Amino acid sequence: MPQIRENIAQSELTSDVVNTPIRKRTTDLDHAGGDTGAMQAFASLRDANVVLDGPVGCHVMPAVAVINYTDSIPYLQNVTCSELSENEVTLAGTLGVLKEKVAEATAAGRQVFIVSTPVSELIGATWTTEHAHVKGSALFFDSHSLDDDEWKSRDRALLFLWANRDHYVAPADAVRPPKTRPSVNIVGPTYGCFNSYSDLAEMKRLIAGIGADVNLVYPFEASSYDTARLSDADATVVMYQEFGKSLAREVGLPTFYAPIGLEPTTRFLLDLGRALGLEAEAKAFVALEKKTTLAAWHDIWRSTHSDFFANAPIAIVAPPTYKDGLTYYLGEELGLPISYSAYRTGAESAPSETVRAALSDASPSPMLVFGSINERMIIAQEKLPSRFLQSSFPGAVVRRATGTPYIGYTGAVWLLQCVCETLFDVLFANLPTSAAPPVQATAPTRELMADGAAAGAAGKGANSVIGWTDEAKALTEKTLKRVPFFVRVSVNKKLRAESEKLARERNCDVDEAIVREVTARFSPGSN
Amino acid sequence: MCPAFGAVRNLLRMEDAMPIVISSGDGCLYGHTFVAHFYVANRPIYSPGVSSEIWAKGSAFDELRGMVHEMAEKHAPSIIPICSLCVSDTVGLPFDLLPKQIGNTEIVYVPLPAYSVHTHARAKDIVVDSLVWRLPPQRKARSGVNLIGEIFPSDPIKIDEVLRKIGTHVNTTVPGPRWSDYVAMVDGAVNAPVHPFYSESVKRMKMKQGLPFVEGAPVGIDGTYRWIRSLAEPLKLDPALVERVAAEERDRAAAAIDQHRLDGLTLMVAGYEGHEFLLVRLLLEAGANVPFLSTAVNANPLAREEEAWLKERGCHVLYGANFADEIAALTDRPFDCVIGTTPLCAHAKELGIPSIYYTNAMATRSMMLAEGAADVLALVEQTVAAKSRYDRIARFFSEDETKLERTYTSWAPKIDITEHLIAHGAV
């Protein structure tokens, strides 16, 4: 067992998370900054009050506007702000206004976390008072908001909470739950983590399934004074690669990461079971799952649905946990070709322009793109035929029903279901015949026979073959390459029929302009 | 919402503008792009990267200059507004060193340090002010009315119809979707700020354009009548004709309001967009009791007349809205409906009070003339009518006597595998 390092100075606790590089230019940023990440971590604690040391916008933007569209929460009630104005920024400093806000929150019995923002960092504001070492007094967190991304900041905030675990004051009636079974910490969910409600529910289900208890869901369902209790568990599960691993390292228990896909989930359950002395239970749970949760998976897999997989390309643009997880599950286990994948945050993240170029040039175009609103905009602006499933932030989405996990066995079923539904959607959009009501008869049968003289002269009779220019052929080929294989025949038929119809009307060959016109009419981005 | 977003939003809505946002950091930029993509535009937002190192080295300005040139040369938009938020404005980048024009593209600096901008309304004012300052001099031959204010797309058409009856027309509307909407102001004969917060813009327009101003807006019975009449003098229109049309429109508005009476209802209105003043006019004229208007807008000369009008009808204006006071007021007296900010509405709904978010519900609607009045009041009626639904939900979530702690995900039913195994003789 690794040693738990006691009484370590917080300055010694280093985060293992690598920042998203700051580029010289940014288009459509895909991650929030350090102040936002820290706020989302601290505010997740039940007894916390975060005081953002900044102008009103630094409070309202993350804690009212954005949170409403990431977590569907009207606003975070335990976040306040020093509301800096010119006076503080240029003259007085922030200590005076901070004191008021801190006093208000402390009076309400809350553990206060003061979080720096770009402006407060610029003017070098900190929180230095004689009460700093009194238990339960306000703590100041330098969020490195000018430099760190939200993930690194969440990671650092969790470390900071741990380093200060003896600082918090528990209410007199706080009870330490008795321990009867092996227990596990879930380190992860904070506000603003995509799909975390569902993923957390699935993780709880998996842990309960092998006969273990959850010690703490940290910080999402804990109070600050619970922090020291993290060491009561027998293992730690970290939900995301993006943050939390440094805390797990410091807590020092056997650490596991939330799995995406069938095999990773099985391995996770067996390994966790082994670490907790619940190996037989874990095996039994896996066996039970195969007959229950995964029965759906097995049925879909055995259906004709899976016949399309090899020809249904996808693209994945997401932070590491989802990007790696989806790449393995959808690419390796289901066998969907991955036409493009990229990290949107972290050390190897791809800037928006790179993603735009890659998605536009992909051949065939991905049938389904897992991404953020940035990818959704690229699909629309570049008129790509791809469907979209939001799988990361930014982008307004509601993911509060807990039935849409990506992790675990339920996640495997939900993702498989999403892929199949997209297949059906693409098929419907490309059905070979869509004339409802049917095309009306405009003439009796006799008149449908070509009028030899007239048709022959123009060469464009109702049923004559229409010529295609080389440019038109080339463009058609290029257009078709963008379309998934399994609907290419339908699209080809439609494109040909519509182009020739136009050519007939205009009494000319099918040229590039006609193909372009027809293509535009059927592109999803054009409506 | 960050106050500066009021400006960023207006600029992103300009089709021929390519705004550059110099953020204070990634947290700031993320917030702005997030809400911009949700509320405004399916379009990229450009920013120079910022970090403590970049600020210390001063390299942000060189990058900005490069960006401006590249964007102007490659895309040739009509205008590149440069929105400078808190940190860049505190650091003080030398924006004067940027070219004023590159080819046909205007480069305009828009100062938006949120710590001194304070409100959305003020940020919009700054945008209009910054752009108007760049306009060519006013033309000698002028006609028509420049409408200044964010209004519903069909409003200028409706207003124009009325103005043509009295011998004038709508010349242009700002903020508009194109730079040419602003440029057209030089042809107008009178400026009409229809929201009571464009005070800085108005001040500068007075310095620069020398045009007469008409205040107020054609909203409600009294507002419509007075606004139309006030155009007669500066535009030298036929007073009898103007009087007749103004009376006609007044009667149409009164008839519309009569269809949607709100007598006996007590409403709370809290807004930060500025047109909450106009909304309250309508509510009062429909017979509602609105004890106060809470607005993020600061007291300013343009709001003075509006304030007096509201006060006469029992509505006090609280400038620089205080959320704590609004919450306290909610429990103070029985409100029938709340039209306000997201947090306020969340509280009201918790108490079972029908409520709607100002920006989503009101700011997306016309309020002008008879049609606008009918539309807005119908929405309020509809909301109030849903009282029993709000009550039912509020009761459902407050009736339990055991106060369980709230968790975000349901606990899975505990399948006790150990017991299961023992039962089957496996362990």
Q: CA-to-CA distance for B223 and B235, rounded, in angstroms?
A: 19
Report the pLDDT value the prediction gives residue B421, as an integer from 0 to 100.
Answer: 61
Query: Which positions 428-447 of A are in contact with B (Cβ < 8 Å)?
Result: none
Judged by a CB distance cut-off of 8 A, whether residue A146 touches chain B is yes
Handedness of CA A49, A50, A54, A56 (dihedral sign): negative
How near does any CA of chain A get to the CA of B355, in Å? 13
Q: CA-to-CA distance for B392 and A327, rounded, in angstroms?
A: 46
Q: Provide the pLDDT confidence category of residue B200 given band limits of 50, 70 and 90.
A: confident
The distance of Cα B233 from the centroid of its chain, to the nearest Å, equals 30
**Number of domains making up chain B:** 3
| Phi, psi (rounded to 5 degrees) for A53 | -90, 85
Rounded (to 5) percent helix, strand, coil in chain B: 50, 15, 35
Write out the residue limits of the CATH 3.40.50.1980 domain(s) in chain A: 28-163
Does residue A1 register a pLDDT over 70? no
Burial class (CB in 10 A: 0-12, 13-18, 19+), B424: exposed
Q: Which of A116-120, B103-107, B388-392 has the lowest mean pLDDT?
A: B388-392
Report the pLDDT value the prediction gives residue A527, as an integer from 0 to 100.
Answer: 34
β-partners of residue B340 are B357
Cis previous bond, A259, omega within 30: no
B273 and B362 together in one domain: yes
B226 and B271 together in one domain: no
Query: Which positions 465-524 of A are in contact with B (Cβ < 8 Å)?
Result: none
Q: Provide the pLDDT confidence category of residue B325 given band limits of 50, 70 and 90.
A: confident
- Cβ-based contacts under 8 A for chains A and B: 231
Last residue of a domain, one of B97, B117, B137: B117
Name every chain A residue with its beta carbon within 8 A of the beta carbon of B87: 118-119, 122, 146
- For residue B418, tell me if it sits in a domain: no
Spatial CA neighbour of A7 closest among A139, A166, A113, A133: A166
β-partners of residue A316 are A341, A370
User: Are A26 and B47 an interchain contact pair (Cβ–Cβ within 8 Å)?
Assistant: yes
Report the pLDDT value the prediction gives residue B366, as an integer from 0 to 100.
Answer: 84
B52 and B171 together in one domain: no
- For residue B129, tell me if it sits in a domain: no
User: Are B1 and A204 an interchain contact pair (Cβ–Cβ within 8 Å)?
Assistant: no
Report the pLDDT value the prediction gives residue B105, as an integer from 0 to 100.
Answer: 95
B296 and B394 together in one domain: yes
What Rg value do the Cα atoms of chain A yield, rounded? 29
Name every chain A residue with its beta carbon within 8 A of the beta carbon of B413: 208
In this structure, CATH architecture of domain A174-429: 3-Layer(aba) Sandwich (3.40)
| Contact of B159 with B369, CB cutoff 8 Å | yes
B374 and B389 together in one domain: yes
How near does any CA of chain A get to the CA of B311, in Å? 29
| Contact of A358 with A342, CB cutoff 8 Å | yes
The distance of Cα B56 from the centroid of its chain, to the nearest Å, equals 36
Judged by a CB distance cut-off of 8 A, whether residue A34 touches chain B is yes
Judged by a CB distance cut-off of 8 A, whether residue A264 touches chain B is no
Q: What is the spatial order of strands in the sheet that A314-318 belongs to?
A: A338-343, A314-318, A368-371, A387-390
Does residue A283 register a pLDDT over 50? yes
User: DSSP string of A236-277?
Assistant: EEES-SSSSHHHHHHHTS-EEE--BSHHHHHHHHHHHHHHHT
Report the pLDDT value the prediction gives residue A496, as an integer from 0 to 100.
Answer: 86
Residues A78-99: b if buried by 16+ CB within 10 A, e if exposed: bbbbbbbbeebbeeebbbebbe
| Contact of A487 with A428, CB cutoff 8 Å | no
User: Are B408 and A31 an interchain contact pair (Cβ–Cβ within 8 Å)?
Assistant: no
Report the pLDDT value the prediction gives residue A461, as an integer from 0 to 100.
Answer: 58
Mean residue pLDDT across chain A: 88
B367-409: pLDDT as tens digits? 999 999 999 999 999 999 999 999 988 888 877 666 666 666 5
Name every chain B residue with its beta carbon within 8 A of the beta carbon of A210: 417
Does residue A6 register a pLDDT over 80? no
Q: Which domain holds residue B307?
A: 261-398
B125-139: pLDDT as tens digits? 999 999 999 998 888
- For residue B122, tell me if it sits in a domain: no
B344 and B243 together in one domain: no
Spatial CA neighbour of A330 closest among A411, A440, A430: A411
Name every chain B residue with its beta carbon within 8 A of the beta carbon of A28: 33, 37, 44-45
Report the pLDDT value the prediction gives residue A63, as an integer from 0 to 100.
Answer: 94
User: Are B47 and A27 an interchain contact pair (Cβ–Cβ within 8 Å)?
Assistant: yes
Spatial CA neighbour of A123 closest among A147, A154, A99, A146: A146
Spatial CA neighbour of A29 closest among A350, A347, A380, A322: A350
Does residue A452 register a pLDDT over 70? no
Region B57-77: what's the mean pLDDT? 93
Q: Give the highest mean pLDDT range of A11-25, A31-45, B184-198.
A: A31-45
Cα angle for residues B236, B227, B173 (degrees, 5° grid): 85
Report the pLDDT value the prediction gives residue A462, as an integer from 0 to 100.
Answer: 61
Higher-pLDDT residue of A342 and B414 is A342
Mutation target to probe the A interface, by most A beta carbons within 10 A, among B84, B326, B403, B408 is B408
DSSP-derived pairing of the beta strands B190-193 and B170-174:
unpaired
Report the pLDDT value the prediction gives residue A42, as an integer from 0 to 100.
Answer: 98
Q: Provide the pLDDT confidence category of residue B418 given band limits of 50, 70 and 90.
A: low
Does residue B320 register a pLDDT over 50? yes
- For residue B425, tell me if it sits in a domain: no
Higher-pLDDT residue of B270 and A458 is B270
**Distances from the Cα of A394 to the Cαs of A192, A379, A384, B33, B64, in angstroms?**
9, 15, 20, 8, 25
- For residue B134, tell me if it sits in a domain: no
Write out the residue limits of the CATH 1.10.8.550 domain(s) in chain A: 445-526
Which residue of chain A comes nearest to B64, CA vs CA?
A25
In the three-class reduction of DSSP (H, G, I as helix; E, B as strand; rest coil), residue B11 is classed as helix
Which of left, alpha, beta for A21 (phi over 0: left; psi -120 to 50: alpha)?
Answer: beta
Q: Provide the pLDDT confidence category of residue A5 given band limits of 50, 70 and 90.
A: very low
Report the pLDDT value the prediction gives residue A12, as an integer from 0 to 100.
Answer: 64
Superfamily of domain A445-526: Proto-chlorophyllide reductase 57 kD subunit B (1.10.8.550)
Report the pLDDT value the prediction gives residue B152, as an integer from 0 to 100.
Answer: 83
Report the pLDDT value the prediction gives residue B196, as an integer from 0 to 100.
Answer: 83
B299 and B384 together in one domain: yes
Does residue B426 register a pLDDT over 90? no
Name every chain A residue with its beta carbon within 8 A of the beta carbon of B356: none
Region A419-448: what's the mean pLDDT? 78
B110 and B152 together in one domain: no
A35-50: pLDDT as tens digits? 999 999 999 999 999 9
- For residue B137, tell me if it sits in a domain: no
Mutation target to probe the A interface, by most A beta carbons within 10 A, among B40, B47, B115, B422 is B115
The CATH number given to whatever domain includes residue B357 is 3.40.50.1980
**Distances from the Cα of B331 to the Cαs of A103, B339, B347, B405, in angstroms?**
24, 16, 10, 24
Report the pLDDT value the prediction gives residue A195, as an integer from 0 to 100.
Answer: 96
B327 and B353 together in one domain: yes
ipTM confidence score: 0.83
Region A273-279: what's the mean pLDDT? 97
Amino acid (one-letter) located at A467: G
User: Are A281 and B30 an interchain contact pair (Cβ–Cβ within 8 Å)?
Assistant: no
Does residue A486 register a pLDDT over 80? no
Q: Give the highest mean pLDDT range of A432-446, B221-235, B335-349.
A: B221-235
Query: Which positions 221-260 of A are in contact with B (Cβ < 8 Å)?
Result: 221
Domain covering A28-163, topology? Rossmann fold (3.40.50)
Region B231-244: what's the mean pLDDT? 96
- For residue B412, tell me if it sits in a domain: no
How near does any CA of chain B get to the CA of A356, in Å? 11
Name every chain A residue with its beta carbon within 8 A of the beta carbon of B49: 22-26
Q: Which of A383-387, A509-513, B48-52, B361-365 has the lowest mean pLDDT?
A: B361-365
Judged by a CB distance cut-off of 8 A, whether residue A404 touches chain B is no
B60 and B103 together in one domain: yes
Q: Which of A328-332, A380-384, A455-459, B357-361 has the lowest mean pLDDT?
A: A455-459
| Contact of B367 with B279, CB cutoff 8 Å | yes
| Contact of A393 with A70, CB cutoff 8 Å | yes
β-partners of residue A338 are A314
β-partners of residue A81 are A52
What is the pTM (predicted TM-score) of this model?
0.87
Q: Which residues, in sequence order, are CB contacts of A476 under 8 Å at separation 6+?
A: A468, A492, A495, A496, A499, A515
User: Are B34 and A85 an interchain contact pair (Cβ–Cβ within 8 Å)?
Assistant: no
DSSP-derived pairing of the beta strands B101-102 and B105-111:
antiparallel
β-partners of residue A343 are A318
- For residue B419, tell me if it sits in a domain: no
Mutation target to probe the B interface, by most B beta carbons within 10 A, among A27, A28, A29, A381 is A29
Q: Provide the pLDDT confidence category of residue A482 given band limits of 50, 70 and 90.
A: confident
Does residue A72 register a pLDDT over 50? yes
Name every chain B residue with its beta carbon within 8 A of the beta carbon of A217: 407
**% residues pLDDT > 70 (chain B):** 93
Q: What is the spatial order of strands in the sheet that A183-187 belongs to?
A: A213-218, A183-187, A235-238, A255-257
B7-30: pLDDT as tens digits? 999 999 999 999 999 999 888 999
Q: Which residues, in sequence order, are CB contacts of A277 under 8 Å at separation 6+?
A: A182
Name every chain B residue with its beta carbon within 8 A of the beta carbon of A281: 417-418, 421
Judged by a CB distance cut-off of 8 A, whether residue A346 touches chain B is no
Region A91-109: what's the mean pLDDT? 90
Does residue A4 register a pLDDT over 80? no
User: Are B46 and A25 an interchain contact pair (Cβ–Cβ within 8 Å)?
Assistant: yes
What Rg value do the Cα atoms of chain B yield, rounded? 26
Q: CA dihedral in degrees (B322, B323, B327, B328; nearest 10)?
A: -30
Region A117-142: what's the mean pLDDT? 86
Q: Provide the pLDDT confidence category of residue A457 given band limits of 50, 70 and 90.
A: very low
B192 and B227 together in one domain: yes
Does residue B265 register a pLDDT over 90? yes
Amino acid (one-letter) located at A126: T
Higher-pLDDT residue of B397 and A15 is A15
- Structure tokens, A112: 């206060």
Write out the residue limits of the CATH 3.40.50.12380 domain(s) in chain A: 174-429
Region B173-197: what's the mean pLDDT? 92
Q: CA-to-CA distance for A131 and A110, rounded, in angstroms?
A: 16
Q: Provide the pLDDT confidence category of residue A456 given band limits of 50, 70 and 90.
A: very low
Mutation target to probe the A interface, by most A beta carbons within 10 A, among B26, B82, B85, B88 is B26
Higher-pLDDT residue of B414 and B188 is B188
Report the pLDDT value the prediction gives residue B402, as an integer from 0 to 100.
Answer: 61
Judged by a CB distance cut-off of 8 A, whether residue A88 touches chain B is yes
Report the pLDDT value the prediction gives residue B406, as an integer from 0 to 100.
Answer: 66
B228 and B307 together in one domain: no
Report the pLDDT value the prediction gives residue B343, as an integer from 0 to 100.
Answer: 86
Judged by a CB distance cut-off of 8 A, whether residue A219 touches chain B is no
